Amino acid sequence: MKAKSFFLSLFVIIVLLAGKASAQNKKFYIFLCFGQSNMEGNARIQPQDTIVDPRLQVLETVNCPNLKRSKGNWYTAVPPLARCNTGLTPADYFGRTLIANLPGDITVGIVNVSVAGCKIELFQKDIFKDYAATAPAWMVNMINEYGGNPYGHLVEMAKIAQKYGVIKGILLHQGESNPNDTLWTQKVKGIYTMLMKDLHLKARKVPLLAGELVNEDQGGKCAAMNGIIDKLPEVISNAYVINSAGCPAAPDKLHFTAGGYRMLGTRYGLKMLELLGYKAMVTSDPLPVQTKGNSGK
List the chain pLDDT tens, one digit each, 297 residues: 444 444 434 333 333 334 434 468 999 999 999 999 999 999 999 999 999 999 999 999 999 999 999 999 999 999 999 999 999 999 999 999 999 999 999 999 999 999 999 999 999 999 999 999 999 999 999 999 999 999 999 999 999 999 999 999 999 999 999 999 999 999 999 999 999 999 999 999 999 999 999 999 999 999 999 999 999 999 999 999 999 999 999 999 999 999 999 999 999 999 999 999 998 875 555 444 334 444 332
For the question of whether the overall pTM of this predicted structure is more than 0.75, the answer is: yes
Within a domain: 264:
yes
Q: Would you state the pLDDT for residue 281? A: 77
Q: Which of 216, 227, 223, 212 is nearest to 264 (CA)?
A: 212
Domain count, the chain: 1
Within a domain: 6:
no
- The CATH number of whichever domain residue 200 belongs to comes to 3.40.50.1110
Q: Would you state the pLDDT for residue 159? A: 98
Q: Would you state the pLDDT for residue 283? A: 54
**Residue 285: which residues within 8 A CB-CB, separation 6 or more?**
263, 266, 267, 270
Within a domain: 255:
yes
Within a domain: 38:
yes
Q: Would you state the pLDDT for residue 280? A: 85
Active-site residue set: 37, 252, 255
Sequence-ordered alpha helix ranges (H) in the chain: 2-21, 37-40, 90-101, 128-133, 137-145, 150-162, 184-198, 226-229, 258-276
Q: Would you state the pLDDT for residue 24? A: 83
d(CA 248, CA 253): 9
Q: Residue 171: beta bridge partners?
A: 33, 209
Range(s) of the domain holding residue 175: 27-293
Q: Residue 169: beta bridge partners?
A: 31
Contact 118, 146 (CB under 8 A): no
Q: Which of 60, 89, 297, 81 is nearest to 174 (CA)?
A: 89
Checking 188-197 for CB contacts under 8 A at 24+ apart, the result is 188/120, 188/232, 188/235, 188/236, 189/235, 189/236, 190/124, 191/120, 191/123, 191/124, 191/125, 191/151, 192/236, 192/239, 194/125, 194/151, 195/32, 195/154, 195/155, 195/158, 195/170
Within a domain: 254:
yes
Within a domain: 101:
yes
Within a domain: 7:
no
Q: Would you state the pLDDT for residue 285? A: 54
What is the SS3 string spanning 107-119?
EEEEEEEECCCCC
Within a domain: 11:
no
Pair type for strands 28-35 and 166-173: parallel
SS3 49: helix
Q: Which amino acid is at 286?
A: P
Cα 217 to chain centroid distance, Å, stands at 26
CA distances from 46 to 17, 79, 112, 168 (A): 44, 10, 20, 29
Q: Which amino acid is at 178?
A: N
d(CA 286, CA 241): 19
Sequence-ordered alpha helix ranges (H) in 1-89: 2-21, 37-40
